[in-house]
Amino acid sequence: MDVIEELKRFRSKDIPYHRVLSSMCTIPHPIAVEAHKLFIETNLGDPGIFVGTYELESNVIEMLGDLLHNKRASGYICSGGTEANIQGIRAARNLKRIEKPNIVIPKSAHFSFEKIGDILGVEIRRANLDENYRVDIADVEKLIDERTVALVGIAGTTELGQVDDIRALGKLAVENDIFLHVDAAFGGLVLPFIDEKIPFDFEVKGVSSITVDPHKMGMATIPAGGILFKNEVFLRALEVETPYLTVKSQFTLTGTRPGTGVASTYAVLKHLGFEGMKRIIDNCLKNTKIIVEEMESLGFEPVIEPIMNVVSFKTEKAERIKEELYKRKWVISTIRNPKAIRMVIMPHVTEEVIAEFITEFREVIRKV
């Protein structure tokens, strides 16, 4: 068999996106795919060769910075949220250079912070959440000590799409002279487009760095994560010398890195513009409301009233429902505290997908 035919056979075993309600990624926008293909050979690890692609990256960082209230933000397009979070915390750690550093993060932070603690040798202190599943600011304050190098706030938690009180965290950060990293991997490209203005980005005093992933709500191609620092000083804390390259130093985590994510991010943001992005986000929020209404009519209550296009519904049968749906090739996920099923209403989760899903969901809950 021809190798391309073989590959198609493997690919056909993947579950198609229109049956996936668990992922924060989505089908990339057609303009993203077109842009990606043009940059398939590029390597931003060597900016002296890929001069134009590197210039494009500066533009993308400026566009993202602008959206996040800081045109002068420094940063780069990386492999994804984990690298972005590593780099934020690594900068914080390196700026302080103290023994046995710790960071204070919400209990709602993404599991990758566990990885980051292991990788960077930083103790992870998990602050409790309040009744709305936002980080409890008093608890954060209690956990801060002289070895705390960073606070972390989440703008769009993985489980509920909740947004921490970044202003209160910013105040704590300034008062204690601590770095504040905001993980807005998901929310960073949702919150700027919704009507309710929730402060979470560089407009908040004290915010040092932000993770914002174009390959999530930015509909860019994978890999396209983003790390933005308030200014260049923070980036400098990550630099190593690069003897063989066309540049003298490197602040990225990876060496060789594709320009495809830069191109696809640029393409989507430029092609859609603010209004075009807003239309897509609005539609996701409208579809989230439809899901909530359908689920409520079936007796399921959302854990919190959704702020963005992520919603979880309380049920003791969460695991069984997930498994039964998976047998039927529908993918949702579960959360543990409280026990709930979780859905992310990405652009590929259209009204038609929701109607199909709810039909099957009704059958499943009769069975479990």
Ordered alpha helix ranges (H), 47-111: 51-67, 81-96
79 near its own copies (CB under 8 A): yes
**Least distance in angstroms from the C-beta of 263 to its own copies:** 6
**Least distance in angstroms from the C-beta of 55 to its own copies:** 6
271 near its own copies (CB under 8 A): yes
Contact region for its own copies (CB under 8 A) — 69-77, 166-174, 251-259, 358-366?
251-259
Q: Residues 143 to 162: which contact its own copies by CB under 8 A?
A: 158-159
Q: Residues 299 to 358: which contact its own copies by CB under 8 A?
A: 326, 331, 333-336, 342
| Of residues 68, 27, 3, 15, the one with CA closest to residue 228 | 68
For 84-95, the DSSP string reads HHHHHHHHHHHH
Q: Which is nearer to its own copies, 51 or 174 (CB)?
A: 51
**Least distance in angstroms from the C-beta of 352 to its own copies:** 19
**Least distance in angstroms from the C-beta of 79 to its own copies:** 5
Contact region for its own copies (CB under 8 A) — 175-183, 194-202, 266-274, 290-298?
266-274
State how far the Cα of 98 lies from the Cα of 138, in Å rounded to an integer: 25
83 near its own copies (CB under 8 A): yes
Q: Which is nearer to its own copies, 52 or 282 (CB)?
A: 52
36 near its own copies (CB under 8 A): yes
State how far the Cα of 129 lies from the Cα of 65, in Å rounded to an integer: 29
* Inter-residue contact 65 to 72 (CB < 8 Å): yes
* Inter-residue contact 149 to 118 (CB < 8 Å): no
* Tokens coding 188: 């960073």
Q: Residues 104 to 143: which contact its own copies by CB under 8 A?
A: 110-112, 114-115, 118-121
State how far the Cα of 266 lies from the Cα of 210, in Å rounded to an integer: 18
Q: Which is nearer to its own copies, 12 or 297 (CB)?
A: 12
For 180-222, the DSSP string reads EEEE-TTGGGTGGGSSS----STTSTT--EEE--TTTTT-PPS
Q: Which is nearer to its own copies, 17 or 302 (CB)?
A: 17
State how far the Cα of 364 lies from the Cα of 89, in Å rounded to an integer: 43
Q: Which is nearer to its own copies, 172 or 335 (CB)?
A: 335
Q: Which is nearer to its own copies, 67 or 172 (CB)?
A: 67
| Of residues 119, 126, 61, the one with CA closest to residue 93 | 119
Instruction: Name the packing angle between helices 318-327 and 351-367 (round to 10°).
Output: 110
Q: Residues 215 to 244: which contact its own copies by CB under 8 A?
A: 215, 221-223, 225, 240-244
Residue in 175, 232, 254, 328 binding its own copies, rule: CB under 8 A: 254
48 near its own copies (CB under 8 A): yes
Could you count the other beta carbons within 10 Å of the beta carbon of residue 66?
Answer: 14
Residue in 61, 228, 263, 291 binding its own copies, rule: CB under 8 A: 263
Exposure class string for 9-23: b at 16+ Cβ within 10 A, else e:
eeeeeeeebebbbbe
Q: Which is nearer to its own copies, 33 or 358 (CB)?
A: 33
How many residues bind to its own copies according to rule CB under 8 A? 93
